[in-house]
């Protein structure tokens, strides 16, 4: 910081020495400095126009091309330069100066109102081009721009009033900018304030001078250089060195907001999980009492009760058994999310093998054939226990929901192909898709989504026992792995359950 200030002062000192020896050279250099900065700001804004969501910066950026262009003409038209032989004296240069300052002040005034908006560069550019051209024509061609400097008399009232108007507009622009301060990085904002303040001070100097070579002019140009240097710091340096503060500030803010809502959702989810866990855990206790006493009643007082009484007790005991199953299911469901995410490479062929082993009884009883066309299912990153459970639930269902013939279950894996993935898995991106096909009773398409919801079953428990939690657990497991799950089926022929796991 100190080095930068010293360097800045050194530059100003060089400018000052030059101003003492050759004012024209000083003036040309000072103006060229602001022309170069203005050009740089324009180029930065123009090339990032598709990314800049902050209309302020884009608008200022576009306007600076025209400010810089008119300042350049001002430098060339300065008395003594001799570039435009037709324009004698200091009037034209002063007119051009005023035009540049008006464009700049109006731009600073309008820009804060565009802060949150997306501006269309084409029409803005065209408007600036039209207005600037008309003003230049009024100086160079039509000679009807109000006189700003009269030889021997000095500055005209028009020029002085214009400078005050410009100062007022710039001051107002600081105020309006301040009201939109939330859209800016605090560092950039400070630099913008300082820059506009320096330009205001510079304007005030130019209302005081009498001759074209005057100490106020030197001071005014120093302040203008300072103002443009600060704009350079605010826009060019920040834009190139810390683009996230300037151009992608919205992106950064959105990212922070997203992060915050993610944390909130996670906290809420955590509470909910805790709640489900505690409730299902605590419900077991009174249930055990009911079941226990119903059993006692049946054993000890069977003789006292009539047939109806014994039948009722059987209902109570069946009900408690069912409720116990449901609560256990719920407990298992709520546990899927509570265990710590501890992902490691999992060989899916081994996971399948384990699931088959756990289902050995059911497989033998039903005469099911489980075949994995690919001996080598891929290795994925995940929670091994849960992936075994996933296979086990799907295989278990394939066996349970069979038709008369013995179940045949095929498991295979294929690379996920993004949007070409089956329903529900389009968003997954790169990964593996696992497919478990059976030749069972099938599912109607209108039930494809319902079956993944807790307690949703398609059958009375008589024919197919179950709680309706198995697939809900499967869904929770794949979602915990960042994946997806779905089913395709032909009723009466069989179903294919698929789940995707991202890389
Ligand atoms: P449960 O098997 O305990 O009823 P699930 O959540 O595992 O609970 O399954 C929900 C419903 O989806 C089942 O009731 C059944 O109707 C249907 N279903 C699941 N798997 C299959 C399958 N392989 N074939 C036919 N229907 C199935």
135 lines ligand 1 (CB under 6 A): no
Residue having the nearest C-alpha atom to atom 16 of ligand 1: 458
Residue 466 has a pLDDT of 86
Q: How far is the CA of 343 from the centre of ligand 1 (A)?
A: 28
435 lines ligand 1 (CB under 6 A): no
Q: What is the DSSP letter of 450?
A: G
Residue having the nearest C-alpha atom to atom 8 of ligand 1: 468
Q: Which residue has the tokens 């349970």?
A: 400
Full-model pTM: 0.53
DSSP letters, 462-501, are TTS---S-HHHHHHHHHHHTT-EEEEEEETTTEEEEEEEE
397 lines ligand 1 (CB under 6 A): yes
Q: How far is the CA of 192 from the centre of ligand 1 (A)?
A: 64
Residue 490 has a pLDDT of 93
Q: How far is the CA of 401 from the centre of ligand 1 (A)?
A: 7
440 lines ligand 1 (CB under 6 A): yes
Residue having the nearest C-alpha atom to atom 21 of ligand 1: 397
Of 451, 477, 486, the one to substitute when testing ligand 1's pocket (max ligand atoms within 8 A of C-beta) is: 451
Q: Which of 242, 249, 283, 312 is nearest to 116 (CA)?
A: 249
CA angle at 495 for the pair 492 and 500, rounded to the nearest 5° = 170
Each residue's pLDDT tens digit in the chain (503 positions)? Answer: 788 888 888 888 888 899 888 989 999 999 999 999 899 889 988 888 887 777 888 899 999 999 999 999 999 999 888 888 887 788 999 999 999 999 999 999 999 988 878 888 899 999 999 999 999 999 999 999 999 989 888 889 999 899 999 999 999 999 999 998 888 888 889 999 999 999 999 998 887 765 555 788 888 998 998 999 898 888 877 777 777 666 666 677 788 888 888 888 888 877 877 787 788 788 888 899 999 999 999 899 888 889 999 999 999 999 999 888 888 888 888 878 766 667 899 999 999 999 999 999 999 999 999 998 656 799 999 999 999 999 999 999 999 999 999 999 999 999 988 778 888 888 888 899 999 999 999 999 999 999 999 888 887 767 788 889 999 999 999 999 999 999 999 999 999 999 999 98
CA end-to-end span of the chain, whole Å?
46
Of 401, 459, 461, the one to substitute when testing ligand 1's pocket (max ligand atoms within 8 A of C-beta) is: 401
Give the Cβ contact number of residue 17 at 10 Å: 11
Q: How far is the CA of 286 from the centre of ligand 1 (A)?
A: 29
Residue 340 has a pLDDT of 64
Atom of ligand 1 nearest to the CA of 473: 6
Q: Which of 69, 71, 75, 80 is nearest to 28 (CA)?
A: 75
40 Cβ contact list (under 8 Å, min separation 6): 232, 236
Q: How far is the CA of 480 from the centre of ligand 1 (A)?
A: 21
Residue 271 has a pLDDT of 80
438 lines ligand 1 (CB under 6 A): yes
What's the CA gap between 48 and 243, in Å, rounded?
Answer: 10
The token duo for 118 is 């997306």
What's the CA gap between 226 and 199, in Å, rounded?
Answer: 8
Q: How far is the CA of 463 from the centre of ligand 1 (A)?
A: 12
Q: What is the DSSP letter of 29?
A: H
Question: Do the Cβ atoms of 473 and 332 come closer than 8 Å?
Answer: yes
What's the CA gap between 397 and 402, in Å, rounded?
Answer: 8
The token duo for 49 is 């126009």
Residue having the nearest C-alpha atom to atom 25 of ligand 1: 442
470 lines ligand 1 (CB under 6 A): yes
Question: Do the Cβ atoms of 70 and 100 come closer than 8 Å?
Answer: yes
Hey, which residues does 434 pair with through a beta bridge?
413, 499
471 lines ligand 1 (CB under 6 A): yes
Q: How far is the CA of 328 from the centre of ligand 1 (A)?
A: 17
109 lines ligand 1 (CB under 6 A): no
Residue 427 has a pLDDT of 84
Residue having the nearest C-alpha atom to atom 19 of ligand 1: 397
Q: Cα 87 to chain center, whole Å?
A: 55
């Amino acid at each position: 910081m100190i080095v930068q200030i010293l360097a800045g002062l050194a530059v100003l000192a060089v400018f000052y020495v030059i101003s003492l020896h050759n004012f024209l050279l000083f003036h040309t250099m000072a103006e060229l400095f602001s022309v170069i900065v203005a050009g740089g700001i324009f180029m930065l804004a123009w090339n990032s126009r598709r990314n800049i969501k902050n209309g302020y910066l884009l608008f200022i950026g576009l306007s600076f091309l025209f400010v810089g262009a008119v300042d350049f003409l001002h430098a060339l038209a300065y008395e003594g330069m001799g570039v435009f032989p037709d324009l004698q004296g200091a009037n034209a240069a002063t007119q051009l100066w005023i035009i540049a300052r008006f464009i700049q002040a109006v731009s600073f005034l309008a820009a804060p109102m565009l802060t949150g908006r997306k501006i269309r560069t084409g029409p803005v550019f065209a408007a600036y081009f039209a207005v600037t051209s008309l003003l230049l024509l009024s100086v160079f061609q039509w000679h009807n721009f109000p006189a700003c400097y009269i030889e021997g008399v000095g500055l005209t009232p028009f020029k002085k009033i214009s400078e005050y108007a410009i100062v007022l507009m710039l001051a107002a622009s600081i105020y309006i900018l301040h009201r939109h301060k939330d859209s800016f990085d605090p560092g950039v904002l400070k630099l913008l304030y300082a820059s506009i303040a320096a330009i205001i001070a510079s304007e005030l100097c130019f209302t005081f001078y009498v001759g074209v070579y005057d100490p106020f002019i030197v001071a005014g140009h120093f302040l203008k250089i300072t103002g443009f240097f600060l704009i350079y710091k605010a826009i060019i340096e920040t834009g190139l060195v810390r683009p996230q503060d300037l151009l992608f500030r919205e992106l950064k803010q959105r990212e922070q907001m997203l992060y915050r809502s993610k944390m909130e959702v996670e906290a809420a989810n955590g509470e909910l999980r805790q709640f489900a866990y505690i409730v299902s855990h605590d419900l077991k206790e009174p249930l055990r009492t009911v079941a226990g006493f119903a059993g006692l009643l049946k054993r000890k007082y069977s003789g006292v009760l009539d047939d109806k009484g014994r039948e009722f007790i059987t209902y109570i005991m069946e009900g408690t058994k069912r409720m116990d199953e449901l609560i256990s299911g719920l407990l298992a469901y709520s546990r899927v999310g509570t265990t710590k995410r501890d992902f490691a490479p999992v060989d899916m062929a081994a996971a399948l093998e384990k699931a088959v082993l756990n289902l050995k009884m059911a497989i033998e009883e039903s005469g099911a054939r489980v075949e994995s066309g690919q001996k080598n299912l891929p290795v994925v990153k995940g929670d091994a226990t849960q992936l075994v459970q996933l296979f086990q639930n799907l295989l278990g269902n394939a066996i349970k929901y069979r038709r008369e013939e013995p179940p045949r279950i095929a498991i295979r894996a294929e690379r996920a192909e993004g949007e070409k993935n089956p329903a529900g898995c389009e968003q997954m991106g790169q990964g593996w898709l696992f497919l478990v096909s059976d030749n069972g009773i099938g599912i109607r398409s209108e039930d494809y989504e319902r079956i993944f919801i807790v307690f949703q079953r398609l059958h009375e428990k008589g024919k197919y026992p179950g709680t309706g939690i198995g697939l809900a657990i499967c869904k929770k497991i794949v979602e915990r792995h960042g994946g997806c799950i779905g089913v395709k089926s032909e009723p009466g022929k069989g179903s294919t359950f698929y789940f995707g796991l991202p890389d």
